[in-house]
Amino acid sequence: MGLGDTAGAVGKGLFAGAAGTVAMTASSTLEAKLRGRGSSSAPADAAGKVLGVQPRNPAGTARFSTVVHWSYGTSWGAVRGLLHAAGIDGPVAVAAHFAAVWGSAQVMLPALDVAPPPWKSDPAEIAIDALHHAVYAIATAMAFTALEEGSS
Protein backbone atom coordinates (compact mmCIF):
# COMPACT_ATOMS: atom_id res chain seq x y z
CA MET A 1 0.00 0.00 0.00
CA GLY A 2 1.48 3.32 -1.08
CA LEU A 3 1.37 6.67 0.64
CA GLY A 4 -1.66 7.77 -1.38
CA ASP A 5 -3.53 4.61 -0.40
CA THR A 6 -2.65 5.18 3.26
CA ALA A 7 -3.84 8.78 3.06
CA GLY A 8 -7.07 7.58 1.45
CA ALA A 9 -7.56 5.04 4.22
CA VAL A 10 -6.99 7.71 6.88
CA GLY A 11 -9.47 10.01 5.15
CA LYS A 12 -12.09 7.26 5.05
CA GLY A 13 -11.28 6.56 8.67
CA LEU A 14 -12.03 10.15 9.62
CA PHE A 15 -15.46 9.94 7.96
CA ALA A 16 -16.03 6.56 9.61
CA GLY A 17 -14.97 8.02 12.97
CA ALA A 18 -17.62 10.71 12.60
CA ALA A 19 -20.21 7.98 11.93
CA GLY A 20 -18.97 6.07 14.97
CA THR A 21 -19.31 9.24 17.04
CA VAL A 22 -22.94 9.55 15.90
CA ALA A 23 -23.60 5.98 17.09
CA MET A 24 -21.81 6.49 20.41
CA THR A 25 -23.66 9.76 20.98
CA ALA A 26 -26.96 7.99 20.39
CA SER A 27 -26.10 5.11 22.73
CA SER A 28 -24.80 7.32 25.53
CA THR A 29 -27.69 9.79 25.21
CA LEU A 30 -30.23 6.97 25.40
CA GLU A 31 -28.44 5.35 28.34
CA ALA A 32 -28.21 8.69 30.19
CA LYS A 33 -31.93 9.34 29.71
CA LEU A 34 -32.85 5.83 30.84
CA ARG A 35 -30.68 6.14 33.94
CA GLY A 36 -31.48 9.81 34.64
CA ARG A 37 -27.88 10.97 34.60
CA GLY A 38 -26.17 13.91 32.97
CA SER A 39 -23.49 13.69 30.34
CA SER A 40 -19.89 13.03 31.26
CA SER A 41 -17.59 16.02 31.49
CA ALA A 42 -14.39 13.96 31.85
CA PRO A 43 -13.27 14.14 28.18
CA ALA A 44 -13.80 17.92 28.03
CA ASP A 45 -12.15 18.33 31.45
CA ALA A 46 -9.13 16.37 30.18
CA ALA A 47 -8.91 18.37 26.95
CA GLY A 48 -9.26 21.59 28.92
CA LYS A 49 -6.30 20.63 31.09
CA VAL A 50 -4.15 19.64 28.13
CA LEU A 51 -5.06 22.66 26.00
CA GLY A 52 -5.33 25.20 28.82
CA VAL A 53 -8.98 25.94 27.98
CA GLN A 54 -11.27 27.14 30.76
CA PRO A 55 -14.78 27.95 29.51
CA ARG A 56 -16.21 31.02 31.23
CA ASN A 57 -19.80 29.89 31.69
CA PRO A 58 -22.07 26.84 31.40
CA ALA A 59 -22.88 27.59 27.75
CA GLY A 60 -19.16 27.75 26.94
CA THR A 61 -18.59 24.51 28.82
CA ALA A 62 -21.34 22.81 26.81
CA ARG A 63 -19.91 24.11 23.51
CA PHE A 64 -16.38 23.03 24.42
CA SER A 65 -17.62 19.60 25.48
CA THR A 66 -19.41 19.17 22.16
CA VAL A 67 -16.33 20.22 20.16
CA VAL A 68 -14.12 17.85 22.16
CA HIS A 69 -16.56 14.94 21.79
CA TRP A 70 -16.87 15.26 18.01
CA SER A 71 -13.20 16.07 17.40
CA TYR A 72 -12.01 13.21 19.56
CA GLY A 73 -14.35 10.63 18.05
CA THR A 74 -13.75 11.74 14.48
CA SER A 75 -9.97 11.83 14.88
CA TRP A 76 -9.85 8.31 16.35
CA GLY A 77 -11.32 7.18 13.05
CA ALA A 78 -7.91 7.86 11.51
CA VAL A 79 -6.57 4.96 13.58
CA ARG A 80 -9.18 2.69 11.98
CA GLY A 81 -7.88 3.81 8.58
CA LEU A 82 -4.29 3.12 9.63
CA LEU A 83 -5.28 -0.37 10.76
CA HIS A 84 -6.67 -1.01 7.29
CA ALA A 85 -3.51 0.40 5.70
CA ALA A 86 -1.53 -2.07 7.81
CA GLY A 87 -3.66 -4.94 6.50
CA ILE A 88 -5.76 -5.32 9.64
CA ASP A 89 -9.50 -5.57 8.98
CA GLY A 90 -12.60 -7.38 10.20
CA PRO A 91 -13.11 -8.38 13.82
CA VAL A 92 -9.40 -8.03 14.60
CA ALA A 93 -9.49 -4.38 13.50
CA VAL A 94 -12.64 -3.76 15.57
CA ALA A 95 -10.98 -5.28 18.63
CA ALA A 96 -7.73 -3.37 18.10
CA HIS A 97 -9.54 -0.09 17.50
CA PHE A 98 -11.74 -0.60 20.58
CA ALA A 99 -8.69 -1.46 22.70
CA ALA A 100 -6.83 1.64 21.52
CA VAL A 101 -9.72 4.06 22.03
CA TRP A 102 -11.08 2.69 25.29
CA GLY A 103 -7.68 1.73 26.68
CA SER A 104 -6.30 5.22 26.13
CA ALA A 105 -9.30 6.71 27.95
CA GLN A 106 -8.75 4.33 30.86
CA VAL A 107 -5.15 5.55 31.13
CA MET A 108 -5.38 9.23 30.20
CA LEU A 109 -8.47 10.34 32.17
CA PRO A 110 -7.10 9.11 35.52
CA ALA A 111 -3.62 10.41 34.64
CA LEU A 112 -5.14 13.86 34.12
CA ASP A 113 -7.09 13.47 37.37
CA VAL A 114 -10.51 13.89 35.74
CA ALA A 115 -11.76 10.34 36.39
CA PRO A 116 -10.88 7.65 38.89
CA PRO A 117 -8.68 4.74 37.81
CA PRO A 118 -10.58 1.60 36.78
CA TRP A 119 -9.80 -0.23 40.03
CA LYS A 120 -11.53 2.57 41.99
CA SER A 121 -14.57 2.72 39.70
CA ASP A 122 -17.91 0.96 39.94
CA PRO A 123 -17.68 -2.16 37.73
CA ALA A 124 -21.14 -1.40 36.30
CA GLU A 125 -19.97 2.06 35.20
CA ILE A 126 -16.86 0.57 33.59
CA ALA A 127 -19.04 -1.92 31.71
CA ILE A 128 -21.38 0.84 30.49
CA ASP A 129 -18.42 2.93 29.35
CA ALA A 130 -16.96 -0.09 27.56
CA LEU A 131 -20.31 -0.70 25.87
CA HIS A 132 -20.41 2.84 24.48
CA HIS A 133 -16.86 2.52 23.20
CA ALA A 134 -17.72 -0.85 21.63
CA VAL A 135 -20.68 0.79 19.87
CA TYR A 136 -18.23 3.40 18.57
CA ALA A 137 -15.69 0.84 17.33
CA ILE A 138 -18.33 -1.34 15.64
CA ALA A 139 -20.12 1.59 13.99
CA THR A 140 -16.79 3.04 12.83
CA ALA A 141 -15.85 -0.33 11.33
CA MET A 142 -19.20 -0.64 9.57
CA ALA A 143 -18.88 2.87 8.13
CA PHE A 144 -15.28 2.24 7.09
CA THR A 145 -16.24 -0.98 5.33
CA ALA A 146 -19.09 0.76 3.52
CA LEU A 147 -16.71 3.51 2.37
CA GLU A 148 -14.15 0.94 1.21
CA GLU A 149 -16.75 -1.04 -0.70
CA GLY A 150 -18.17 2.13 -2.23
CA SER A 151 -14.78 3.13 -3.62
CA SER A 152 -14.03 -0.13 -5.40
Q: Which domain holds residue 78?
A: 3-150
Question: What's the structural domain count of the chain?
Answer: 1
d(CA 41, CA 115): 9
Contact between residue 48 and residue 69 where contact means Cβ atoms under 8 Å apart: no
pLDDT of residue 152: 65
Tens digits of residue pLDDT in 141-151: 999 999 999 87
Which ranges constitute the DSSP H helices of 36-89? Answer: 42-51, 58-85
pLDDT of residue 42: 86
Residue 39 has pLDDT above 90, yes or no: no
Tens digits of residue pLDDT in 101-125: 999 999 999 999 999 999 999 999 9
Contact between residue 148 and residue 33 where contact means Cβ atoms under 8 Å apart: no
3-state secondary structure of 2: coil
Q: Tell me the Ramachandran region of residue 112: left when phi exceeds 0, alpha when psi lies from -120 to 50, beta otherwise.
A: alpha
